[in-house]
Structure 1
Amino acid sequence: MAHRTQFQLLASRRFLPFFITQFLGAFNDNVYKNALIVMIAFRLVESEANALINIAAGLFILPFFLFSASAGQLADKFDKSRLIRLIKLGEIVIGSLGIGALYSGSNLLCLAVLFLLGVQSAFFGPVKYAILPQSLKRSELVGGNALVEMGTFVGILAGTIVGGLLAGLTGQGEHGLFYLSLIIMGAAIFGYSASRWIPQSPAPSPNLHINPNPITQTNKILRTTAKTPSIFYAIIGISWFWLLGAAYLTQIPSFTNNVLGGDESLVTLLLCAFTVGIALGSMLCERLSNGHIELGLVPLGAAGLTIAGIALSSAGGSFQELQEPTLSAFFNSNGALTILTCIVLLGIFGGLYIVPLYAMMQDRSPREIRAQIISVNNILNALFMVVSALLGILFLNILGATIPQFFLVIALMNAAVAIFVFTKVPEFAMRLLIWMLSHTMYRVKHQGLEQIPAEGPALIVCNHVSYVDALLLAGAVRRPIRFIMYKPIYEIPVLHFIFRTGRAIPICSKSRDPAGYDQAFKDIEQGLQDGDLLCIFPEGQLTKDGEMQPFKAGIEKILARTPVPVIPMALRGLWGSFFSHKGGHAFTTLPKRFWSKVSVVAGAPIEAPEAKVEALHDEVLELRGELK
């Protein structure tokens, strides 16, 4: 049985060992990286320190460009659990080298170890996300990704804090280095121990030929990915989030010092606020989507990121610099709560934005090249983070913008990127409208939807009560549905955008439009031959009295040309809603019902030879029952 909440995954061997492994990996990387940066900053004069810190950041991210393509191929070719164990053994070796480098006091050796940690992370990335669809059920994918994102950000924050604190102790004798070494080796060893409990994850492409050239391999997978716009633009959306996150997190120390007038404790507080927000947003995803991959949350998250970013810019720009750099002085100042709230909201909306995108990429990527697609995603993530740093240099150092002004710029850029992506993949906006409808006007319950085939051609027949019947069915059934609908309804403003996006097939009577009628049947036949799931409302029009009308004979014509299974479905509780014809025409009065109960019920599939008009009508009527 699927887990009812993501937290139950933490009690499962399918997930817990992997979760611990990836959390400790993120933690350890950041312990070493931040400790090294802090020690460099205190060992050298400012000009040399700044140069080495920038080199350190570049050396950690460089391996993602060099090795991600190969890492993706290895993850598709070999058992992922075995690869994870080998990668974690490598972390133990690298940790030992890192300790030696720290004790030697050689910045060059420390930087070399940091590069090796980047290599290890580059090889772990594709395995990390490609193993989830193999280990988890589809209904658990959102919850699993939510926990991984939460664990990653908490690990990054904890590692950053611990690394910085222990590095500060190194100037007070050998005890600081000893404790730092203990943490690094302990996390590496515990991470490897946890990885040994990860269940086997068989290779989807054991005969894959490895192409070691990162340029040609990346280009090849990019071209393959671009053939599926939803996956390609999901990757663009994910990469943009990492650019946005890097822009905010990189500037928080300077924002704290130069704008707020706070000290290191305030930096830690703001980083914690962002991490708590990411954790809350990630956890909210499963609850708001009922465990399904709900793409409607992505536009919601994007809008929230822009609004919270603009609010943070405004609050920061009007903040009076603290007279004392203490937390108590910050909390007693005007605007402190607003700034904290904005940063938490950035994290919450970031979680709502990123989790469905990762789940969508994993779910829709072809199984045999899933890890390679994720490797390309990691390369673009790294590229976008480099662009984030360049944007910071451009606006803050060259154009002379303030940090609040920079926050405003990237918030507005986020809106532009979101509009671009949602224009290229209108499914995001369509799903948002469906999600809003099913969470404001109605409380939608489902029954028997597991009887709808997961793949292959099929035809749904359903009663027709309101103008939003198609939206509610599309929201309930997670497999994409192509609707065969009355042309005047298809052409209703706003709804037309949704129906066109979903590749609906408009139809009207043969007497009114003979050419359109014939074309509709050709499109229906082609869709079923292509393996699509189609839905028709055989009554041909909305009910005027709440009762089901006789079914038209067109459905038998469809099945005669292309015999496929028929799934009877019924909508309950829509009669009398704002979108139905009860009491006159729909839309003529203000809505009187909000959050009313509606049910979507599916019956057992019926083979084409038995799917006669009268029998289908009686089956749908029985599913509907007395609740119109």
Structure 2
Amino acid sequence: MAEHSQFRLLRERRFAPYFATQFLGAFNDNVFKNALIILIAFQGVNTEINSHTLINLSAGLFILPFFLFSATSGQIADKFEKSSLIRIIKGLEVIIMMLASLGFYLGSLPLLLLVLFLMGTQSSLFGPLKYGILPQQLHPDELIGGNGLVGMGTFLAILLGTITGGILIGLEQGALLISGTVLLIAILGFLSSQAIPTAKAVDPTLQIRWNPLLQTWRILKFTAERHTVFLSVLAISWFWFLGATYLAQIPNYARLHLGGNEQVVTLLLTLFSLGVGLGSIFCERLSGHKVELGLVPFGSIGLSLFGIDLSFAEVSLANPENLMNASAFLAASGSFRVLFDVGMIGLFGGFFIVPLYALVQQRSNPAHLSRIIAGNNIINALLMVFSAGLAIFLLNAGLDIPQLFLTIALMNIVVAIYIYTLVPEFFMRFLVWIFIHLVYRVQKENLDKIPDKGAMVLVCNHVSFFDPLLIAGSIRRPVRFVMYYKIYQIPGLNFIFRTAGAIPIASNKENPEIFKQAWERIEQTLKAGEVLCIFPEGKITRNGNIGKFRPGIERIIAENPIPVLPMALCGLWGTFFSREGGSAMSHLPRHWMTKITLKAGEVVAPEQASAAFLQTQVENLRADKK
């Protein structure tokens, strides 16, 4: 697994033109939407409909196409080559922005609302392509970094587009400036799309069906085929529920509770968007270039803690009669706490959302991925509509905005517990991630020898009770472990081992039933193309040296002739989980942030994989480092 920076992707043709295209699209959407909202709310339009109704109508017109067209767009994205589809959609954006320019020039509200609907349609067509193309253009160890950059770009585009639209429409000849800007951005997006490399059709024989209701139902069934994927989609939609609630309330929160003017609103939106962007790009570093599900609970914990703290934050108003500008707000007592909480909500939101998108891309059936992304977009839209309805209901019921923030933060705790109960893998990976990043410093060598697909057996020396967790947290693919059943049953650790799908084993003499079941599960695991890890010594070392490898590995390979990868753990002897000095975990840890190395050697062919040969390979890897 090569160590590299995700920003390298911004220099490569397989990613950079796509990134620029999606960034410009999100930027243009928000320039137009915010300009239109300000035109309606502050500058007035020639209509008898009040501004509140028009603003909510505008929001509904943009979201409506996601319900109408996502099912069809998902089918189209799976059936046809994706880069050509992106170019067609960006060409449509140029035409739509020509209509927008005409609408601003004429001051025609009906035409501008039609453009808003068409923009929602274009976004619903682009959505399945936006995330569906990434697994075809990026390597598996680049998915987190690529999704992180997309997440960062999307939120920065939303922020910059919102600010740009608001500034331009407020200037003299603002309508003319907006007209030229949205058209120019659309043309730049179309030009950047020309350089996107080909991404072949994943299901060219697919028969497209146009009934939106029936196909929406069918796509939601595709999304629900894999339990973990479906719950990840629900978690993504929950994030958009939270994000939509915060973003919708920030203007009134700044004015009514912080005493701030438009500059304070912009400051809060900037910190939230930058937080999400930073969280998105930090994911790659924190996850070690792999899909690290442990970041999802980490993100949800931060979302709840800082959401709760924000609800109790107060700012001392120097003059309650006058709204503060940004500089006055920064000088006010309590402002730093508010700004910090808003930024941290964004940051932990990035930790939460990026691994979920990467997991959906990695674990979905590739032939259905764009349709699953379309299903995700439908559920996202539903949750965003629900967030608006719930906020209206709670605020009308007597809650103020800080109390609304407290309510959704507490709701987030309930939803997180529910999801992690249904998919304990999330929480298990979180515990492993915490140990690996806060207890040890882990150096990984040659783990790219493990293929992205296909069965493989890993053999490793057994130094401590923590060995399976360290290996599982260091490898980007899920690993199934064979372990002595009494270790498997250790309270506390049992939850992690069981959730990770570990296979308890005993000798035939000690427990024939466990012995039989273990061999059946080993065969099933390898036939399913999974990675299996065993500790051929059969027990944890009591002196730090590698014990004799037992012949069980030879039986596994004889019955399942697949490649074997020898690995060595170095540096764990003498740590809390090892047996140095007697029993493990019987004394307080004497070392903190110990440097641990996990080394992989060369792949061994099945016919060479004798116990003695594999032991020699592991001993050579470990050398004299216990």
Q: TM-score when scaled to structure 2?
A: 0.96
1:317 Cα offset (Å): 8.7
Please name the residue that 1:351 is paired with: 350
Distance 1:466 1:504 in 2: 16
Is residue 156 of structure 2 the alignment partner of residue 154 of structure 1? yes
1:608 Cα offset (Å): 3.0
Please name the residue that 1:424 is paired with: 422
Please name the residue that 2:621 is paired with: 623
Distance 1:584 1:318 in 2: 59
1:325 Cα offset (Å): 1.2
DSSP-derived class of the 2:202 partner: coil
RMSD, aligned CA: 1.8
1:202-238 residue CA offsets vs partner (Å, 9 max, x unmatched)? 1111221111122222222322332312211111111
Aligned 8 A contact 2:66 2:381 in 1: yes
Distance 1:154 1:552 in 2: 56
Please name the residue that 1:303 is paired with: 301
Distance 1:301 1:178, change over 3 A: same
Aligned 8 A contact 1:260 1:320 in 2: no
Q: In structure 2, give the amino acid aligned to 1:15.
A: F
1:399-437 residue CA offsets vs partner (Å, 9 max, x unmatched)? 110000000000011111111111111111111111111
Distance 1:486 1:333 in 2: 61
Distance 1:158 1:608 in 2: 57
Aligned ranges 1:40-119 → 2 under 5 Å: 40-41=40-41, 42-43=43-44, 48-119=50-121
Please name the residue that 1:391 is paired with: 390
1:394 Cα offset (Å): 1.2
Aligned 8 A contact 1:260 1:321 in 2: no
DSSP-derived class of the 2:309 partner: helix
Distance 1:606 1:477 in 2: 19
Aligned 8 A contact 1:316 1:404 in 2: no
DSSP-derived class of the 1:307 partner: helix
Q: In structure 2, give the amino acid aligned to 1:85.
A: R
Aligned 8 A contact 1:32 1:184 in 2: yes
Deviates further, 608-617 or 422-431 = 608-617
Distance 2:272 2:36 in 1: 23
Deviates further, 1-10 or 283-292 = 1-10
1:316 Cα offset (Å): 4.2
The counterpart of 1:217, out of the listed 215, 218, 230, is 215
Gaps of 5+ in 1: none
1:106 Cα offset (Å): 2.4
Distance 1:316 1:240 in 2: 27
The counterpart of 1:551, out of the listed 540, 544, 549, is 549
Distance 1:3 1:163, change over 3 A: farther
DSSP-derived class of the 1:600 partner: strand
Distance 1:223 1:615 in 2: 49
Please name the residue that 1:17 is paired with: 17
DSSP-derived class of the 1:568 partner: strand
Please name the residue that 2:495 is paired with: 497
Please name the residue that 2:310 is paired with: 312
Aligned 8 A contact 2:461 2:537 in 1: yes
Q: In structure 2, give the amino acid aligned to 1:154.
A: L
Aligned 8 A contact 2:23 2:157 in 1: yes
Distance 2:302 2:581 in 1: 39
Deviates further, 557-566 or 128-137 = 557-566
DSSP-derived class of the 2:185 partner: helix
Is residue 281 of structure 2 the alignment partner of residue 279 of structure 1? no
The number of residues matched between the two structures is: 623
Aligned 8 A contact 2:24 2:189 in 1: yes
Q: In structure 1, give the amino acid aligned to 2:351.
A: L
Distance 2:176 2:452 in 1: 56
Please name the residue that 2:512 is paired with: 514
Sequence identity percentage = 52
Deviates further, 241-250 or 3-12 = 3-12
Please name the residue that 1:413 is paired with: 411
Distance 1:319 1:279 in 2: 31
Distance 1:119 1:254 in 2: 29
DSSP-derived class of the 2:50 partner: helix
Aligned 8 A contact 2:569 2:622 in 1: yes
Aligned 8 A contact 1:229 1:424 in 2: no
1:105 Cα offset (Å): 2.1
Please name the residue that 2:291 is paired with: 293
Deviates further, 155-164 or 249-258 = 155-164
Distance 2:296 2:214 in 1: 32
Please name the residue that 1:208 is paired with: 206
Aligned 8 A contact 1:262 1:322 in 2: no
1:455 Cα offset (Å): 2.3
Aligned ranges 1:521-560 → 2 under 5 Å: 521-560=519-558
DSSP-derived class of the 2:76 partner: helix
1:318 Cα offset (Å): 8.3
Is residue 381 of structure 2 the alignment partner of residue 379 of structure 1? no
Aligned 8 A contact 2:132 2:369 in 1: yes
Q: TM-score when scaled to structure 1?
A: 0.96
1:526 Cα offset (Å): 2.1
Please name the residue that 2:139 is paired with: 137
Please name the residue that 2:167 is paired with: 165
DSSP-derived class of the 1:601 partner: strand
Distance 1:482 1:257 in 2: 54
The counterpart of 2:450, out of the listed 446, 452, 458, is 452
